Every structure is written in C-alpha cells, then in structure tokens.
Structure 1
Amino acid sequence: MTAQPLRLEALTGLRGLAAWLVVFYHIRLSLTSLLPAPVIAFLAKGYLAVDLFFMLSGFVLWLTYGPRLARFEPGVIGNFWWRRIARIWPLHAVVLMAFILLAMLLTVTGRDHSGYPFAELPLHVVLMQNWGFTGALAWNHPAWSISTEMAAYLLFPLLAVAGRRAMGPAALIAGLGLLLAGLFALFAAQGHASLGDAITSLGLPRCLIEFTAGTFAARLWLHWQALPSAPRIGLACGTGAVMTGAAGLGLALAETAWVPLMLLLVLLAMALAQGRIAGWLASGPLHWLGEVSYSTYLCHFGLFIVFKLFLVGADLQLGLWKLAVFLGLLVIVSGLSHALVELPAQRALNAMQPRRSPNTALSR
C-alpha cells in the first residue's frame, strides 16, 4: 500500500466514535431525564454503528490479508484464522466469565436471571450464538456481532479467492450496488425496514453482506488512493453520504434502503481524506479511543448492568454526575482490559501458532 498513513489511521478514530455510539445506544433509556427527546431519538439509532464496524472489518482485512489469502494455501489460511481468534476471543472469554459470575450471583440472591440461559452458554463460548441457533440475545448482548464476525472470518478465504480477479472501479461499484440491493431485499422480504430488526435471524446475513461490501470498498480504495484526485474523490464520497442521509430522512425511506450506502460512503470518504477531519480522527484521544474500541464495545454492557445494580435508583435514571462516573469507569476499564487482556493474550497466542515457512506465514 502506498497511501499516506493518515488516511487509514483516520479509520481507527472512526471506529472509536462508532464504539461510543453503541455505548450511548445501550444507556440512552437512563438518560431521558437528562437529555432532550431529539437527542434520545438520535442515540436510539446508535446500533447502526455496528454496520459501520462490519464494513470497516471487511475493508481493513482485505487490505491486510486479501491478496495472500487469494492463493488459498492451507498454511496462510490457518495462520489467518489463528490470528483472528487471538484478536477477538480472549477478551470475549474474560467478559463472558464475568457474566457467568454475575448470573450465579443473581441466581443465589433470587433475582431475575432469565437473560443468562446456561444451556446456550456453549454457543457463546465458541462464538456461534448468533448463527441462527437461538431466538433471543442473551448474556453479553453486543457479542452477537462478534459471533457473526467469526463467521465472516471463516468465509473470508473463499471471498478472497473469488475476488482475486481484477475488477475496475465501474465493476466494483456495480457489485456494491448489487450487495446493498440484496441486503434491502432480504430485510424487505421478511417485512423489516430497520437494520436492527430480527438480529438473531438476520444479523448473520447482515454482517456477511456488509463485510463483503467493505472488501469491495477496499478494492475501490486501491484504485483511487494513489491518484492526484484522491482527496477530491473522498470529498465527493463525503458529499454523497450527506446527500444520501438527507434523501433517506427527507423521503422517510426504509433504513435498509439508504443507511448502508451512506455508511459505505463515509468509510470511503475517511479513507481517502487528507484534511482536518482525517487528522483529528488519526491522532490524539480519538485515535486512542479507536485503539481500545474493542474493549469498550465488549465491556460496556456488563459494566452498565453492574453500575445500575449498585449506583442507580429504581427509576434507572442517571444524573449528570452518575453519567460522568460511568463514562469515566468505562474509559478506565477499556484501557486496562486492552492493556492487560487484549494485547498480552494476542501476543501470547500468536507466539504459540504453528510455525510456517516464510512464504506462507502472515506477517501481521
């Protein structure tokens, strides 16, 4: 890749913002006494950040692994799967163990523990809980998307092989159009207009389609990123995202008809940008929030449950200082879990992976 690091580093900050949108989505009902109704309504759409995550994942993994996986060599594929498991599973396992302790505490104290079905626990351990085997979200709810990401990782080598044939920008854009139209049709066929509907049945195809769209966007980026006009293309993508959002809202279109396109354009705009917004996302606190975003995403749901049990009254509302305390705790927990669980476990597991020849090993 010949792009300036700033362009892709901006995506790290974007991921951090997306993670915090999910956080506020989950705590929004405890903020109704603190924030005006229009803000609460905006936060109620925070689940759409997950769709951005799926596209970002496909985008980054294509740039990092796509060409090597396209050779379809067993050693390379095994190495890729090992590294993805090392990346996502250890923290998931630690957070899941914390939920098990919470469920046991609720059980022995006679409180409601219906949200923690022990019979489904094996599916959660192996990250298969959202592959169509369950009827409702349980345990650590945000981990449903990690489950579908695991499915995307397993299928990614096949996607890389299918995509090794060179395609021009026009063909890639047409392919993106078909993918997004297929996503809309899938939801419409089952009577759903929101991307957040029917997560246990539609969450998996939602992830796989948007992950694939992210790989197509990465291939477009490879065509455009070295062009002198790349910043102008990025600006055009950003303008297109704004226009798509305005049209979708103004015409009251189904969310599935315009939000994925808008998010895809945002992704391309940030990846191609070189201006102040990219610099803002690529450095400082926002970049750090992106670095620890996986910890934020996996830890916030359980932390808020415990926080409510001990520090929130029967009305479940957060005052300003309680909100500040929770957000501060989440920042601390995110940083510590990233530094003490994520990174050490990832390094340890990667060091244990089966040795391959230099020609087949993945370097990162």
Structure 2
Amino acid sequence: MSDRPELKALTGARGIAAWLVVLFHLRFMMPGMGGPQGWLSQAYLAVDFFFVLSGFVIWLTWGERLRQAGPAGIPEFLKRRIARVWPLHAVMLGVAMLFAVALIVAGRPDMPQYPPAELPLHFLLIQNWGLTGRLTWNVPAWSISCELAAYLVFPWLVMTADWRRWPSWALLAAMTGLAAALWAIFTALGATVLGNLIERYGVVRCLAEFGIGTIACALWLRWRDRPMAPALGCVAVGAALLGGHALGLVPQILAMPLVFAALVLTLALSSGMRGNVLEWTPVHYLGEISYATYLGHWILWMAFKLAVVPAGGMGWPMALGFLAIVLGASVALYHLVERPAQRWINGRPMPFRRTGTASI
C-alpha cells in the first residue's frame, strides 16, 4: 500500500498504549491500582496518543498520494480505511449483542448499556458523532467512530492545507493553535480534562488531535535527515509542558495533545536507531495486534468480571490470567478476523473505475 518504510518504534508504542487502556479499565478491580489518584487514573490519555499517532501515520501514508490523485483517489482511501477499522468492529459488536442476549437469558433484562435502538448507529460507526448521550455496547469503539469522522475530513485537509509549503514556525504555531482551540472549546463547555464530554464532543477532541498529528508528520518529513537536534528539542518541549501541567500552570487539555505530538515526533525521529526497545520484536508484535487488543478487551472484561471476579476485586494471579486471555484473543482476532477481512476488502476492485486509471 505504501513504499515508505514502517517506523517500527511508532508501532511498538501503539501496542503499549493499547495495554494501558486495558489496565485503565481494570484498575478498580486490581490490587493497588484503583482510586482517582492511582497511577493508572490518567491512562485513558492513551486514546489521545492514538489520535495524534493516527494523524501522523495517515498523513505519512496518504498525504502525498491523495494530493497527486486528487478527488479521484478519495474512494480508494476511504475503502482502505474502512477495511482497516470496520470488520473487527462489526465482529466485536456482534459479540456484544450475543453477550446482551446471554444476560437476558440469565435473568438480567435491565441493561441500559446495551440499548437496541442505538445498534444502527454503532453498526455505521457514527455513534459518537453527538448522536447519543452515553457510551454503550462495545465502549472502546467510541474512538473508532471519531476516527471515521477524521478519515472523512482528511481528504479535504490534504486538498486545502499543503503543510509542505508552510515554514516550520508556522507549522508549530498551527499545532499550538489547534491545541488552544480544543482547550477553549472544552473549557467553554465546562470540561476540565480531555476525558470529559466523550459522548457529545469526542469527535472534536479527535479532529483536533488528528490534525496535530498530521502537522507532526510534516515536521518529521523535513527533520528526519538530521534528527538529533529536533528530537532533543521535542523532548525539552514535552518535558516543559508536563512540568507546567504538574505545577498547575498549563491545563491538561492544552498540554497533553502537544506532549503527545512531541512524543510521536521523538519516536519517529529515533525510529531505526540501534537499541530502540520499541522495535524489539515482541513489543513490535504487540503494536501489530493492538487494534484487536483495544477493541476486543472490553466485552471480555465485562464477561470475566461478571462470571469470575468477586465483589471485592481480584488478586494478581486472576488479573494476570485475564491479561493472558486478552493477549490470546488479540492474537486470534488479528490473524483470523482483522487481517483476512482487510485483505479481502482491499482486494475488491472499486466500482465504476475508469479504464486506464491507476490503482493507488
């Protein structure tokens, strides 16, 4: 699909981020990790890392190709993005439906988290476009719904914003402006952290951070041949923002999108360097199966918690057992569902393709 080499450090980081989300959802049932001040209480921010990373990777893979192909390239782009995210989402939505039926059979008919009326929205992946008031069914799919909105906006962004022609200072200003706009909007709506207002305004959060990721990629493309100084600069900026946030000087909503942009840039600039632990084969593989981990763990956790976990929480042996189940399910979903479905859809010809038009 692309002649660009993979930045393996980014793939490895994606795997770690997916497992942070898993642990975030388990935290109240795991020893020593619960409570608002637990070390995992901020792990939901891994989703914001995903949004920035997604903008980076999509710009890297598709920015120039869409610019060259023009509007004619949009259907192929959207087909490949839908092939990437929708099949596994549909399978996990089906699993969630079976779980809801099992709960009814078991005598638990009151299930507000599984509303049948919202199923069409989830099937179309538009459930988080301000159309619902709560997170339901396979909860992590809310961010995939937002990603779909970003995919629809992306071709327009490519056609109107040629980051190649912007000087670096202007790109940095645009990145900061997007973070500031997100902070201003969320503050006006009464939000204090990025985790607020997910149901109604998750799309806003995603689009801003996705846009920041595209700018980060444009900067990487011009800095990659001399990576050391920019990487050190990114580390310094990220550390300063984190320090400012810790001291209460920089609000989280403003700081973290820029921190993640600095992190993604640092990882990209250091990708391929000798001894990079994120490129170690097992870590890289966790990144390869990370989408299956992210989408697959929630319903597994709901069933496991209901069937096995006592009311007082679980000890480490039980917790590690569940994590092993998630890992096994991720491997199976990746190899048996995600990749085969992606290959099958990508292999289908686009209808009404003009004769002589090159496939992109």
Q: What band does the TM-score fall into relative to the shorter chain?
A: over 0.9
The unaligned stretches of length 5 or more in structure 2 are: none
For residues 340 and 127 of structure 1, do their structure 2 counterparts lie closer, same or farther at Cα, with a shift above 3 Å needed? same
Which of 346, 352, 356 is 1:350 aligned to?
A: 346
How many Å separate the matches in 2 of 1:82 and 1:2?
19
How many Å separate the matches in 2 of 1:193 and 1:207?
17
Q: Are positions 1:192 and 2:191 aligned together?
A: yes
Residue type of the alignment partner of 1:215: T
For residues 304 and 278 of structure 1, do their structure 2 counterparts lie closer, same or farther at Cα, with a shift above 3 Å needed? farther
For residues 213 and 277 of structure 1, do their structure 2 counterparts lie closer, same or farther at Cα, with a shift above 3 Å needed? farther
Q: Are positions 1:233 and 2:230 aligned together?
A: yes
Deviation at residue 40 of structure 1 after TM alignment: 6.0
Q: What is aligned with 1:61? A: 58
- Give the 5 Å matches for 1:240-251: 240-251=237-248
Q: What is aligned with 1:323? A: 319
Deviation at residue 236 of structure 1 after TM alignment: 2.1
Instruction: Give the SS at the match of 2:305.
Output: helix
Residue type of the alignment partner of 1:345: A
Residue range with higher mean Cα deviation, 41-50 or 292-301: 41-50
Residue type of the alignment partner of 1:323: A
Q: What is aligned with 2:144? A: 146
Deviation at residue 277 of structure 1 after TM alignment: 8.6
Deviation at residue 42 of structure 1 after TM alignment: 2.1
Residue type of the alignment partner of 1:48: L
2:182·2:205 contact (CA, 8 Å) conserved in 1? yes
1:214·1:264 contact (CA, 8 Å) conserved in 2? yes
Residue type of the alignment partner of 1:144: W
What are the superposed Cα offsets for residues 156-187 of structure 1, whole Å, 9 maximum, x if unpaired? 10011012361121111111111111011011
- Give the 5 Å matches for 1:1-364: 5=5, 8-31=7-30, 34-35=31-32, 41-71=38-68, 73-111=70-108, 112-164=110-162, 166-227=165-226, 230-251=227-248, 253-273=250-270, 279-315=276-312, 317-354=313-350, 356=353, 360-362=358-360
1:238·1:269 contact (CA, 8 Å) conserved in 2? yes
- Which ranges of 4 or more aligned residues in structure 1 deviate by more than 3 Å? 36-40, 71-75, 274-278, 355-360
1:91·1:342 contact (CA, 8 Å) conserved in 2? yes
2:27·2:34 contact (CA, 8 Å) conserved in 1? no
Instruction: Give the SS at the match of 1:43.
Output: coil
Deviation at residue 305 of structure 1 after TM alignment: 0.7
User: Aligned-pair RMSD on alpha carbons?
Assistant: 2.1
How many Å separate the matches in 2 of 1:335 and 1:243?
38
What are the superposed Cα offsets for residues 30-56 of structure 1, whole Å, 9 maximum, x if unpaired? 01xx22668962211111010110111
For residues 276 and 42 of structure 1, do their structure 2 counterparts lie closer, same or farther at Cα, with a shift above 3 Å needed? farther
Deviation at residue 253 of structure 1 after TM alignment: 4.0
For residues 118 and 312 of structure 1, do their structure 2 counterparts lie closer, same or farther at Cα, with a shift above 3 Å needed? same
Residue type of the alignment partner of 2:320: A
Residue type of the alignment partner of 2:190: G
The unaligned stretches of length 5 or more in structure 1 are: none
How many Å separate the matches in 2 of 1:295 and 1:167?
37
How many Å separate the matches in 1 of 2:3 and 2:345?
30
Deviation at residue 74 of structure 1 after TM alignment: 3.8
How many Å separate the matches in 2 of 1:144 and 1:223?
34
2:134·2:199 contact (CA, 8 Å) conserved in 1? yes
Give the length in aligned residue pairs.
355
TM-score, scaled to structure 1: 0.92
For residues 191 and 216 of structure 1, do their structure 2 counterparts lie closer, same or farther at Cα, with a shift above 3 Å needed? same
1:59·1:215 contact (CA, 8 Å) conserved in 2? yes
For residues 335 and 360 of structure 1, do their structure 2 counterparts lie closer, same or farther at Cα, with a shift above 3 Å needed? same
1:103·1:116 contact (CA, 8 Å) conserved in 2? yes
What are the superposed Cα offsets for residues 306-327 of structure 1, whole Å, 9 maximum, x if unpaired? 1112211122x11111011001
How many Å separate the matches in 1 of 2:44 and 2:252?
12
